[in-house]
Structure 1
Amino acid sequence: MKVTDIKSCYIGPEISPEQFIAEHFFLYLAKGIINGYDGNKKQTIHADEYCLFFKNHLARYNKEKTENEFEKVVIIFDEAFLKKFQEKHRPTVIKFKSERAFLKLDKREWLPNFIQSLVPYYNRSGKIDKAFADIKREELLTILLKNQPELAGIFFDYGIPEKINLEAFMNKNFKFNVSIQRLAYMTGRSLSAFKRDFKEIFNEAPNRWLIQKRLQEAHFLIDKKNKKPTDIYLELGFEDLSHFSYAFKKQFGYAPTALSNK
């Protein structure tokens, strides 16, 4: 199969731009590189590789072009689709949970064949024709479950996250840029319960604690690890360099560049 035959497309609803995986999805990378991190492990996906991303996980990933090109196929397995599939096919479900957000898939013959089978369904705008979208999603999910039946325990688990240790979770995941509502959900709490428990544990409001925690980490990385501000602000959950620099100067009284150039 020639990857030049494949153009970027999404099948299913759009995925969230947050550093949170709201729905399971399958990725085929035709061109380029993706670097991902889920709080536990870094994962690099190269051209002509396949990966599953599991919902209800924090994840940060960025793309790199190769020869100024980046092409991918993303197929979303949202909950509404999964419930219809389960009702239709009645797959055997054994409870199974993945601690990781990413699962690379082996290069078996069925995966390249499936990707190649998408080519005839591209319309003139370079997208998969909607009339065939659910048919191809159903085909892919059938293939995945045939080869790895244990995935049913992940795909067809519609429960919400259970209540977990808030202090340990926050100290581990403070670098991810997600909303307080998402953090509350992931710790198995309502927003009001999250804020109440957070105040009791950290004696601080969540947003203020997150900023201070990220800035303390930034100061350490710049001062002790010789990191450049431009290399760390995104990894610490800041959306842009100017916001990071402003917050850093407000906290410490000097710009991060002054610390890195000392």
Structure 2
Amino acid sequence: MATVIPYINNSFVYSCTSKEQWGYEQFVPEHTLAFQVSGETHIFHQQGNMVLKKNQVLLAHRNQFAKSLKIPAADKEYKAISIILKTEDLKKYAAIYNIEQNKKYTGRWNVVLKPDGFLKSYFQSLIPYLEQPHKGNVKMAFSKVIEAIELLQNIRPEFREFLFDFTEPYKIDIEEFMLKNFRFNSSVENFAKLTGRSLAGFKRDFIKTFNIPPAKWLKEKRLEEAYYLIHHKSEKQSDFYLNLGFENLSHFYTAFKQKYGVTPTESLIIKK
């Protein structure tokens, strides 16, 4: 897999792979606009699952957990181009054009679009930035961000609420959120952010709720889920370890043996 992130303000991302790959980052910190050039991206996010197919565009909201499985086409590599719509750039745009948006966006956080000719041409225009990043600069990158904002508002005026939602996550119930989202491989800091708390406040409230520190709870919960999948669903660990937040099989085997005293395979033999 090859991923290119130009130095010009880290605004553009190009992904290319010849085999099925999981995306590593499972937290979306900024609004992202992505165009599927070839292959498919299977996305598993907090509000459900979706598939981004060739020639489709995804607009993803910031501050959410999401996993992506990159699947190449039968006769081609997987290719996708993304532009990161950073909050700081959106605020600059809002200041320039006197946009005031104080409401929290309440619509869908992941929207699939069928691009018109303008949007297709826009992504084609990003190719020089991706192939020759050393020739670009911050001002040029910002001009492409502005262009993307204009195009999105032209396609759907209601995207203004989506783009200029600068509110931060509000305080929510920790137990409900963690039980729904423990499978996402992300930092404790990101879990704290999405529950509307500082890191210190999150750790304090977490221990009050679960009587255990968050990092330890996440590890234990994922291992308990793994045990259930192996023994009650007859699933292979190679099929689910990434989906449960483990970085690799070695990491999973080590953690499993530390908790249960045996490897996943040995635990099946013992049960029999």
On whether the aligned pair clears a TM of 0.5, the verdict is yes
- State the distance in 1 between where 2:156 and 2:105 align: 14
Q: Which residue of 1 aligns with 2:28?
A: 21
Give deviations 1:23-43, integer Å, cap 9, x for gaps: 111001112221111133111
Matched, 1:42 2:49: yes
**Corresponding pairs, count:** 255
Which TM-score applies when normalising by structure 2?
0.84
Structure 1: runs of 5+ lacking an equivalent:
1-6
Q: Aligned partners of 1:128, 1:34: CA distance in 2, in Å?
A: 30
Q: Secondary structure at the match of 1:237?
A: coil
TM-score (norm 1): 0.86
CA contact (8 A) 1:26 1:53 kept: yes
Query: Residue 55 and residue 146 in structure 1: after superposition, are their counterparts in 2 closer, same or farther (change >3 A)?
Result: same
- Report what 1:111 is aligned to: 119
Find the counterpart in structure 2 of residue 78 from structure 1. 86
1:70 Cα shift? Answer: 2.3
Matched, 1:216 2:224: yes
Displacement, 1:181?
A: 1.0
Structure 2 counterpart SS, 1:27:
strand
Q: Secondary structure at the match of 1:30?
A: strand
**Among the aligned pairs, what percent are the same residue?**
35
| Corresponding residue of 2:251 | 243
Instruction: Compute the displacement of 1:173 (Å).
Output: 0.5
Q: Is the 8 Å Cα contact of residues 183 and 222 (structure 2) preserved in structure 1?
A: yes
Match among 54, 57, 78 for residue 61 of structure 2: 54
Q: CA RMSD in A?
A: 2.7
Matched, 1:63 2:60: no
Does the 8 A contact of 1:36 with 1:43 survive in 2? Answer: yes
Q: Residue 59 of structure 1: SS of its match in structure 2? A: strand
Mapped to 2, the partners of 1:124 and 1:176 lie a distance apart of: 32
How many angstroms apart in 1 are the aligned matches of 2:84 and 2:160?
A: 15
Find 1:164's aligned residue among 156, 159, 172.
172
Correspondent of 2:185 among 177, 191, 208: 177
Greater CA drift, 41-50 or 85-94: 85-94
Instruction: Give the whole-Å Cα distance in 1 for the aligned partners of 2:100 and 2:86.
Output: 19
